[in-house]
Structure 1
Amino acid sequence: MEGRLMTEISKRIEKGEKAALVTLIDVEGSSPGKAGSLMGVFEDGSIAGTIGGGNLEYQVISSALEAIEESKNRKFEFELVEEGELHMKCGGKVSGYIKIFEKRKKLIIVGGGHLGQELYKLGKFLNMYTTVIDDREEYANEKRFPQADELLHGSIGEILEKYALDEGSYVVIVTRGHSYDKDALRAVTGRTAAYIGMIGSRKKIIETYKDLIDEGVKEEYLEKVYSPVGLDISTGEPNEIALGIMAEILKVKNQGSGRHMSEVKKVRVQG
């Protein structure tokens, strides 16, 4: 039972969902659940396992869903008496803990060329949920990206318009041409995402932005795009460019300064 529960939680996390593990830590007196009982609670309200059922379980599920939304672990404690919060007659007392498992961050690579391949390798190395999108099936297939979590091919703009993005999504636009980059940027600009980056020369970027503004895209949305994409650390080789892009993503994700650690250390010593 416990093995199946943990497997289900792992599957949900791999799919890019949050999950909560509820554990009854201490039980005094009569209670519908026993100490050590486990239950998984998921974003859609479904559960796996049980801590005894009844109003206790209902209230804990509600608390777990709140904890999932807040992304914060929490403790709980209930007295199972009629005058208590749950209005139960068991006469016991229970306490427990809700552990939140965060969903994996999503790396959405738009473009399956050489740079896309290098980004894919780094995304998998960092245990990110990795999606590759290209207009050509031969550039978005299992042979090129054997461990990708999602492979999508077809109209880039249409795919991205329908693709769910959230605060854990990191989009990198590295397609094979200017028009495809513009289609991709048009589809994701202004939507919720932790990071949107697009490769290109400054001239190409200016032209792309101007075209999109003429189409009605708000300039304030474009100002939030990281373009030219990545940190200035490469010689121009695809693997080094990819490393610079992932370094920038980590800087955004972890709210880092991007400074040399030696400089940070000196500031701390002097401060």
Structure 2
Amino acid sequence: MEYKVLEKITEEVRLNKKVALAVITRVEGSSPRKQGAMMAVLEDGKTYGTIGGGKLELVVTEYAKKCIANGKNETYRFKLNDEEGSLHMQCGGEAEVFIKVFKPNHKLLIVGGGHIALKLYKMGKMLGFYTVILEDREEYCRKDRFPEADELKLGSIEESLKNYPIDENCYIVIVTRGHKYDEIALKTVIYSRAKYIGMIGSVNKTKYIFDNLRGQGVSDDILSKVFAPIGLKLGGQTPEEIALSIMSEILLVKNNGALKHMKELMIEAYEKL
């Protein structure tokens, strides 16, 4: 039974989904299951395996869902009797349950498959991102072009983005072949929960697209969340240099970083002495 639970955990992790593993780590007295019993809990509360059923399993499932929501591992202790503060069960013993949360990798959604997208994809994989390519041109959305991409979404960019489960774990980079498609992509994701939305282009192009979206009712408050023109001002014009400036900005957002030279921190430390 336990190996099937672990298989389910592995399956969910491979799909880059959140999942929790609940394990009985200590038992005193009588309990529904022994130490080592385990259960997988999915984000929607569906379970695989069992730690004894009944009230214990019901309560642990709810705790596991909370752990998944906040991304924290926790240990809980339960009295399995009818005393105050217990689960009001007839077993009579006590059980300790450890809940381990498996969090998905951060997702890098690259909208477009051109030269800059190719360099972004390589950097994203190197940095451990779950990487997705979205393109409407078959020649730019092939497995031989992006051999290690976790997903290739070929077809209408608008439809692909509408149908993709974008959440706060997603970092979206819009680098299509033209401002028309960039605007379509931005309009599609601008109200999403993505942690980062960046769009490539000059100041003039950005202003043109932003003005179009304002005319369609998008507020300045929403537009201000878009990183456009995209990237940090590192200098350089090659696809590699542009991709590096974009990934640097993404890491800054992802890690709550600061735009400072590390040597400035040393100077500040000396000034405090």
**Shorter-normalised TM-score: what interval?**
over 0.9
Match for residue 56 of structure 2?
56
CA contact (8 A) 1:22 1:39 kept: yes
Measured in 2, the distance between the counterparts of 1:13 and 1:105 equals 12
CA contact (8 A) 1:106 1:168 kept: yes
Deviation of 1:48 (Å): 2.7
Deviation of 1:54 (Å): 2.2
Measured in 2, the distance between the counterparts of 1:261 and 1:9 equals 40
Match for residue 217 of structure 1?
218
Deviation of 1:186 (Å): 0.9
Match for residue 36 of structure 1?
36
Q: Give the TM-score, by structure 1 length.
A: 0.94
CA contact (8 A) 2:131 2:151 kept: yes
CA contact (8 A) 1:14 1:104 kept: no
2:269 counterpart SS class: helix
CA RMSD of aligned residues (A): 1.6
2:62 counterpart SS class: helix
How many percent identity over aligned positions?
A: 47
Q: Is the counterpart of residue 231 in structure 1 residue 227 in structure 2?
A: no
The 5 Å alignment of 1:103-142 reads: 103-142=104-143
C-alpha deviations, 1:198-236, integer Å up to 9, x for none?
Answer: 000111111111111112222221111101111122411
Match for residue 168 of structure 1?
169
Match for residue 160 of structure 2?
159
Measured in 2, the distance between the counterparts of 1:48 and 1:267 equals 53
Deviation of 1:149 (Å): 1.6
Measured in 2, the distance between the counterparts of 1:29 and 1:102 equals 34
C-alpha deviations, 1:104-127, integer Å up to 9, x for none?
Answer: 111110000011111111111122
Q: Which moved more, 1:257-266 or 1:237-246?
A: 257-266
Unaligned runs of 5+ in 2: none
Measured in 2, the distance between the counterparts of 1:20 and 1:105 equals 17
Amino acid in the other structure paired with 2:15: K
Deviation of 1:250 (Å): 0.8
C-alpha deviations, 1:63-92, integer Å up to 9, x for none?
Answer: 111111122222211111123532111111
CA contact (8 A) 2:81 2:88 kept: yes
Length, aligned pairs only = 271
Q: Give the TM-score, by structure 2 length.
A: 0.93
CA contact (8 A) 1:114 1:238 kept: yes
Deviation of 1:3 (Å): 4.3
Measured in 2, the distance between the counterparts of 1:234 and 1:97 equals 49
Measured in 2, the distance between the counterparts of 1:263 and 1:36 equals 50
Measured in 2, the distance between the counterparts of 1:13 and 1:265 equals 40
Match for residue 67 of structure 2?
67
Measured in 2, the distance between the counterparts of 1:226 and 1:117 equals 20
